[in-house]
C-alpha cells in the first residue's frame, strides 16, 4: 500500500516545552487512524503540522509524498481539516456557507451547485439548507464542518476531536458519517477521547504521551500486547469471602480479590480452561450467578500503557 502520511523525527518545541519529540508515524492509503493521548500529549500539534498550519522545529512531515513547509501549496488541495471547534458565521445560511467555501476551492457554476448538493446529502443536512449556520446545534455544526472539507473531494481527512461536546445521538450520527467516509476510501486521522468509538471506526491506532509515540499499530495488536493473563469476574449469591478463600486453593488460580460485588479471579499464566472454577464452586455448594472473562479493550490498553502524565 502507498504511504499517505509519514513523519520522520518530527519535533515541535515551544521554548523549553517539547510538544512532539522525534515522532515517527506511517499511515497507508485508506487507513482510518485513531490518535489517542491525554490532553497536552501532542495530538493537535501533529494534526496542525500535517494540515500545514504549523511548521515543525525539525524533522519532516510528508502528506501524499509532499513535504510540509516546502510543498504546502501542493498539500492543501489534498487535505480536509476539521478542528475541534466551529467558528461563528453570523447571518450566513448553510447554502451560502458551503457555496462560499466551494468558490474558495475554485468550484464554479453548475458544478458548484451539484457539489454543494452532494455534500449536503452525504452529511444529511439537506433539510437545513436555508438555516442560519449560527442557529444549528453543535452536532449539526460539526456535520457542516465535515461537509465543508468534502467540497473539493480531499484524499486525506484530519479530524481533531470531531465528537467533542456532542450529545449521544449526535455522536452516533457523526460516527456513522465517518464510517461512510472510511468506506469511500478516504485516509482518515481522528483524534478523540471516546475510545470505544475509535475501536469501532479505526483500522490502526497510535498512542502518544508527552510528545512521544508509545504504540502504533492495529487494535488487535495493542490488545494482545497488554493482555498478560486471564482474569475472571465471578459472582455468587452469598458468602463472598468464603468463596474467595475456596477459589484461592484452586491449582490454576494466581489470586482472588473482591471488587464491586464480584470475585476478580486472576488465573496463572498458562491456564486457559477455567471450567474447574465453576465445578469447584458448585462442589462447595455455592450458587453461581455469573462467570465471565474480563474484556481487554482499547480503554483498558490505553490505561495500562500510559502513565497519565501531561505537560
The reply to whether 197 falls in a domain is yes
Residues 6+ apart with CB under 8 A from 262: 233, 234, 235, 290
**Rg of the chain, C-alpha, whole Å:** 25
Chain mean pLDDT for the chain: 88
In this structure, are 160 and 178 located in the same domain?
A: yes
Instruction: Give the integer Cα–Cα distance in Å for 27 and 4.
Output: 6
- Residues 189, 81 share a domain: yes
Residues 105 and 74 in one domain: yes
- Region class of 260: left (phi > 0), else alpha (psi between -120 and 50), else beta: left
Q: Domain for residue 190, yes or no?
A: yes
Q: Is residue 305 part of a domain?
A: no
The answer to whether position 120 is within a domain reads: yes
- Of 205, 225, 245, at which residue does a domain stop? 225
- The rounded Cα 124 to chain-centroid distance in angstroms is 23
Mark 128-155 as b/e (b = at least 16 C-beta within 10 Å). beeeebeebeebbbbbbbbbbbbbbbbb
62 and 189 both lie in a single domain: yes
Block residue for cell numbers 486525506: 156
Kindly state whether residues 264 and 166 are assigned to the same domain.
Answer: no
Least confident of 11-25, 148-162, 164-178: 164-178
CATH code, 18? 3.40.50.300
Question: Is residue 95 a part of any domain in this protein?
Answer: yes
Q: What is the structure's pLDDT at 123?
A: 93
Q: What is the pLDDT of residue 18?
A: 93
Whether 310 has a pLDDT exceeding 50, the answer reads no
Both 218 and 268 in a single domain? no
* Number of domains composing the chain: 2
Same domain, 134 and 271: no
Q: Do residues 4 and 155 touch, judged by C-beta distance below 8 A?
A: yes
Beta strands 156-160 and 32-36 are: unpaired
> Rounded distance, CA 248 to CA 236, Å?
15
pTM: 0.79
- The pLDDT, as a whole number, for residue 293 is 81
Q: For residue 87, name the pLDDT band (cuts at 50, 70, 90).
A: confident
How many Cβ atoms sit within 10 Å of the Cβ of residue 310? 11
- 165 pLDDT band, cuts 50/70/90, is confident
Chain segment 176-227, per-residue pLDDT in tens? 999 999 999 999 999 987 777 788 888 899 989 889 998 888 877 877 776 6
- Residue 289, domain extent: 228-295
Q: Residue 135 carries which DSSP code? A: G
- Cβ atoms 112, 98 nearer than 8 A: no
Which tens digit of pLDDT belongs to each residue from 35-81? 988 888 899 999 999 999 999 999 999 999 999 999 999 999 999 99
Answer whether residue 281 shows pLDDT above 70: yes
In this structure, are 201 and 219 located in the same domain? yes
Residue 93 pLDDT greater than 80, yes or no:
yes
Say if CB 8 and CB 59 are below 8 A apart: yes
Amino acid at each position: 500500500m502507498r504511504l499517505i502520511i509519514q513523519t520522520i523525527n518530527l519535533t515541535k518545541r515551544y521554548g523549553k516545552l517539547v510538544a512532539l519529540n522525534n515522532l515517527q508515524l506511517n499511515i497507508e492509503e485508506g487507513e482510518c487512524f485513531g490518535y489517542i493521548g491525554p490532553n497536552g500529549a501532542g495530538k493537535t500539534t501533529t494534526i496542525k503540522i500535517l494540515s500545514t498550519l504549523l511548521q515543525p522545529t525539525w524533522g519532516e512531515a510528508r502528506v501524499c509524498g509532499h513535504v510540509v513547509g516546502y510543498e504546502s501549496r501542493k498539500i492543501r488541495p489534498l487535505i480536509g481539516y476539521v478542528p475541534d471547534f466551529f467558528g461563528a458565521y453570523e447571518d450566513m445560511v448553510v447554502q451560502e456557507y458551503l457555496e462560499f467555501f466551494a468558490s474558495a476551492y475554485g468550484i464554479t457554476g453548475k458544478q458548484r451547485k451539484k457539489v454543494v448538493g452532494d455534500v449536503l446529502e452525504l452529511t444529511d443536512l439537506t433539510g437545513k439548507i436555508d438555516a442560519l449556520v449560527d442557529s444549528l446545534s453543535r452536532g449539526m455544526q460539526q456535520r457542516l464542518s465535515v461537509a465543508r472539507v468534502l467540497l473539493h473531494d480531499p484524499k486525506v481527512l484530519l479530524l481533531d476531536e470531531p465528537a467533542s461536546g456532542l450529545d449521544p445521538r449526535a455522536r452516533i450520527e457523526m460516527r456513522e458519517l465517518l464510517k461512510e467516509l472510511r468506506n469511500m476510501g478516504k485516509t482518515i486521522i481522528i483524534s478523540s477521547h471516546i475510545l470505544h468509538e475509535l475501536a469501532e471506526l479505526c483500522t490502526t491506532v497510535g498512542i502518544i504521551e508527552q510528545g512521544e509515540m508509545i504504540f502504533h499499530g492495529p487494535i488487535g495488536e495493542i490488545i494482545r500486547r497488554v493482555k498478560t493473563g486471564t482474569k475472571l469476574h465471578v459472582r455468587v449469591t452469598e458468602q463472598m469471602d468464603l468463596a474467595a478463600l475456596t477459589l484461592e486453593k484452586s491449582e490454576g488460580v494466581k489470586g482472588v480479590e473482591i471488587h464491586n460485588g464480584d470475585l476478580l479471579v486472576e488465573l496463572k499464566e498458562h491456564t486457559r480452561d477455567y471450567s474447574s472454577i465453576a465445578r469447584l464452586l458448585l462442589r462447595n455448594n455455592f450458587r453461581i450467578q455469573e462467570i465471565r472473562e474480563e474484556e481487554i479493550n482499547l480503554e483498558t490498553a490505553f490505561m495500562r500503557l500510559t502513565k497519565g502524565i501531561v505537560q
